[in-house]
Chain A
Amino acid sequence: MRALRRPVGVAGLGLLALVLFVAAFGPVLWGERATVVDTGDLLAGPSAEHWIGTDNLGRDLFARVMVAARLSILLALAATAISLVLGIALGAAPMLVGRRLGRLITSAVNVLVAFPGLLLVLFFAVVFGVGARGAALAVGLAGAPAFARLCHTLVAAVSERDYVAAARIAGVSRVRVLLRHVLPNIAEPLIVNATMAAGGVLLTFAGLSFLGLGVQAPSYDWGKLMQDGLNGIYVHPLAALGPGIAVVLAGLAFNLTGEAFAAAPGRTRPLEAAREPAARTAPVAGTSLSVDGLRVTIPGPAGPIHAVRGVTFTVGDGEAVGVVGESGSGKSVTALAVAGLLEPPIRVDANHLVVAGEDLMAAGAHRRLGTSLAVVFQDPMTSFNPAHRVGPQLAEVSRFHQGMSRKAAFARAVDRLRAVRIGEPGRRARQYPFEFSGGMRQRAMIGMGLMGDPRLIIADEPTTALDVTVQRQVLELLAEVRRDTGAALLLISHDVTVVTDVCDRVLVMYAGRVVEELPAKDLRTLARHPYTRALVAAVPDMETDLNRPLAVIPGLPVDPTQVPSGCAFAPRCPFADDHCRAVAPALVAGVACHKSAEVGR
């Protein structure tokens, strides 16, 4: 019950409980009072005895409002149920019937959704005739297209998942796939939406009864009571307002509840206040990037995630440094921190974090950094704004940081696209990101970094999403850019081969720490940390011995919320002993392992 942790959720659920209670027990508790005719007290105003007065037969109106709750709520729920069931049937039908019929249903639904809802309600109400049942059918039917569309979208998303394909291949019938795999996985959003819709339906119903199209005497719901009270609205406004308030409150109850469930965010515990401000240290001279004691902590549902736990390294001017490690080891978070892209509630601490001469721990540093830092990410589709053309997006950089005119900036953008070897750069600059292939987008991203005059390029898995052949082009391009501009490179990859190919030096990360740092050429042969060795051995290459099983690293990476006090690799390390499990090894002379002397032999 995550929704309960927010005031809106508490208010909504409390109100809903009250409304449902009245609906259930209203007729029992107030039923008698609501029918007592008192001819001596007709159309009376509010009094101690009759809180909101009496009607034209002298019956107590408050009691009648309470009694009417049951019918009003039941009708609203019935209509919502009709909408929901019809909606699910229509929305799921395209999955069950053939492609052509499915498309027909979908377009019919789309047309109906475009119709004004109230018009549909009135149309159906006339078709089904006045009365409670006709009104329920009308409101239910009118609400169906919206649910059908929602359901269709949700079903389509789930149907694309591989487990649905797997079930089909395993011979599970379409109907069973729908019941077992699809509906359970879309139930949550559907129920949330139905709850919110019930609030609206309640209002619509009250409207219909008010217009005389809904509930007919002697039955009465809130809408009917409002209609009855209307005659005396100027004398006894509460007679009409009373049921109106009930409608609003009940509608709110449904809406707030639904809303609270829909919006309930994953619970995260806020981080405890920062420790002592880290001691300031001076950056290493002659570096484009100097990091000392970087820690990144992310609030999470099961307590803080220690994504990076004290990382110290440098990237010399013009040097290329690679970072390798399993996913979750903190590579990307390190890159984001270094690029100054992490924001509260994520906490970044460091003794210093100096990029191209600017200490990112100081205020406003990111802006002063300007174009001396370029960043390339794994998925270039998300790095570009899909709604803008590529050229102007590149130009934006120069206009913002270098104050170029629109025309000059665009010319430079075209020039940069040419520099990253994109054919017909003039035409390409006027295209949208989706018109570029993955490799081309990645090159354009590098081109964007080159709009200025970068001293450091940070590239996080720049080739992971690309094919081998395109990968090579992008890597060659990076190498070429570095030759031409003298920029330093921080290259992050889970692919050991890519890193050894491009970089001078390699950092190996495990559980948020650097466990080894060594020249790239030594990675395959001279590694001293058991994890580095295991990582390298696990990669098959074109010379791997086909007669032996591949080396594997047993066990799982550490849970970043519960990092052990000793060496984080100990549970998976063949060399581990009690000392390892108790005392975390520090990074000394390029390796963080108590037994590196032994391992290296």
Chain B
Amino acid sequence: MSVLSFQEVSVRYGAHTVLDDVSLEVAAGQTVGLVGESGCGKSTLARAAVGLAPVTGGRILLDGRPVPNRGRRPVQMVFQDPYSSLDPRMTVGESIAEAMPERLGKKARQAEITRLLALVHLDAARAADIPGRLSGGQRQRVALARALAARPRVILADEITSALDVSVQGAVLNLIRDMRRDLGLSMLFISHNLAVVRYVADHVAVLHAGRIVEHGPTARVLGAPQHEYTRHLLAAVSLKEQK
């Protein structure tokens, strides 16, 4: 279990500031929900932590040390689009094996693939399939298994259920909660869906125009929001649900 902390992180593309002085901590074994509307910088924050976005100011630390941004990252990321997150020409087993830290013999590798697939509730026989034969939900589970294969200390989940049907979303969310319980993973869970974040996250951070405007335990932030913008987000949901 590890602590991921963003300290006064800024990301700028030319004159355009995407993240402005963002400080946020994902404590050991905790799931932190990051909410906000699209384009507010949620994905950029996650990508910065794995070296996919240029950090122009501040630091991102894992257990007190800078997160390495080359080689196998101890922080792994799962992406939104199930149709772009797996190489269409590699089997599920190959995709997962690629992320494994050590070179294993054929047998040990098969066993590890089976173990990882079981963790995400997929049948071992899936290892031989190419992604084209899987549904969106199954693909997202494979993407999670691949992230777990790298033995990460923290997982960044970027809108991983947004592209899924509600019927499948539930299965993936349950899986996320099981994994936190069983594996004690620390996780940054990004979503624009407040009900989803409420279900999986212990803490919530609200990002607005590149700044964190509110941060705290889920029940407190969603139950008694302090910031105007959080209230605005919540109002949009409750209006949808009032009937």
Interface residues of A (CB under 8 A from B): 161-163, 165-172, 180-181, 184-185, 326-327, 467-472, 475, 494-498, 500-501, 520-521, 534-535, 538-542, 544, 546, 549-553, 556
Separation of A504 and B109 alpha carbons in the complex (Å): 55
When distances are taken between beta carbons in the complex, the residues of chain B under 8 Å from A163 are 84-87, 95
Given contacts A471-B236, A472-B240, A166 and B85 within 8 Å (CB-CB): yes
Partner of A550, one of B88, B199, B222: B199
* Min CB–CB distance B120 → chain A (angstroms): 14
Q: Tell yes or no: B180 within 8 A of A by CB.
A: no
Q: Are B143 and A166 in contact (CB under 8 A)?
A: yes
When distances are taken between beta carbons in the complex, the residues of chain A under 8 Å from B236 are 468-469, 471-472
Q: Are A171 and B170 in contact (CB under 8 A)?
A: no
Separation of A327 and B168 alpha carbons in the complex (Å): 11
Given contacts A472-B239, A550-B174, A552-B174, A494 and B135 within 8 Å (CB-CB): no
Q: Are A538 and B167 in contact (CB under 8 A)?
A: yes
Q: Which of B84, B95, B167, B239 is the most central at the interface, judged by chain A CB atoms within 10 Å of its CB?
A: B167
When distances are taken between beta carbons in the complex, the residues of chain B under 8 Å from A534 are 167
Please classify how large the interface on chain B is, using the bins under 10, 10 to 19, 20 to 34, 35 or more: 35 or more
Q: Are A169 and B73 in contact (CB under 8 A)?
A: yes
Stretch at the interface among B10-18, B111-119, B189-197: B189-197
When distances are taken between beta carbons in the complex, the residues of chain A under 8 Å from B194 are 468, 542
Q: Tell yes or no: B31 within 8 A of A by CB.
A: no
User: What are 16 A-B residue pairs whose CB atoms fall within 8 Å in the complex?
Assistant: A163-B87, A165-B52, A166-B77, A166-B147, A169-B77, A170-B99, A170-B146, A181-B87, A184-B89, A468-B37, A472-B236, A538-B169, A540-B196, A542-B194, A549-B174, A550-B173
Q: Tell yes or no: B50 within 8 A of A by CB.
A: yes
Separation of A157 and B86 alpha carbons in the complex (Å): 15
Q: Are A498 and B167 in contact (CB under 8 A)?
A: no
* Min CB–CB distance B230 → chain A (angstroms): 12
Q: Tell yes or no: B61 within 8 A of A by CB.
A: no
* Min CB–CB distance B129 → chain A (angstroms): 13
Q: Are B37 and A467 in contact (CB under 8 A)?
A: yes
Given contacts A326-B165, A497-B240, A497-B241, A542 and B170 within 8 Å (CB-CB): no
Interface members, chain B 140-194 (any A CB < 8 Å): 143, 146-147, 149-150, 165-171, 173-174, 177, 192-194
Q: Are A467 and B192 in contact (CB under 8 A)?
A: yes
Q: Are B84 and A162 in contact (CB under 8 A)?
A: yes
Q: Which of A161, A326, A497, A550 is the most central at the interface, judged by chain B CB atoms within 10 Å of its CB?
A: A550
Interface residues of B (CB under 8 A from A): 37-38, 47, 50-52, 70-73, 75-77, 79-81, 84-90, 95, 98-99, 101, 135, 143, 146-147, 149-150, 165-171, 173-174, 177, 192-196, 198-199, 222, 232-233, 236-243
Q: Are A172 and B174 in contact (CB under 8 A)?
A: no
Given contacts A169-B50, A468-B194, A542 and B238 within 8 Å (CB-CB): yes
Partner of B85, one of A162, A470, A497: A162
Given contacts A535-B167, A542-B238, A185 and B87 within 8 Å (CB-CB): yes
Q: Are A165 and B170 in contact (CB under 8 A)?
A: no
Residue of A nearest to B96 (CB): A170
Partner of A500, one of B77, B89, B150, B243: B243
Pairs A-B, 4 closest by C-beta atoms: A171-B72, A170-B99, A550-B170, A162-B79
* Min CB–CB distance B97 → chain A (angstroms): 10
Q: Are B167 and A541 in contact (CB under 8 A)?
A: no
Q: Are A540 and B98 in contact (CB under 8 A)?
A: no
Separation of A542 and B233 alpha carbons in the complex (Å): 13
Separation of A326 and B163 alpha carbons in the complex (Å): 12
Q: Are B192 and A468 in contact (CB under 8 A)?
A: yes
Q: Which of B81, B150, B240 is the most central at the interface, judged by chain A CB atoms within 10 Å of its CB?
A: B240
Q: Are A170 and B37 in contact (CB under 8 A)?
A: no
Separation of A549 and B170 alpha carbons in the complex (Å): 8
* Min CB–CB distance B145 → chain A (angstroms): 12
Residue of A nearest to B242 (CB): A501
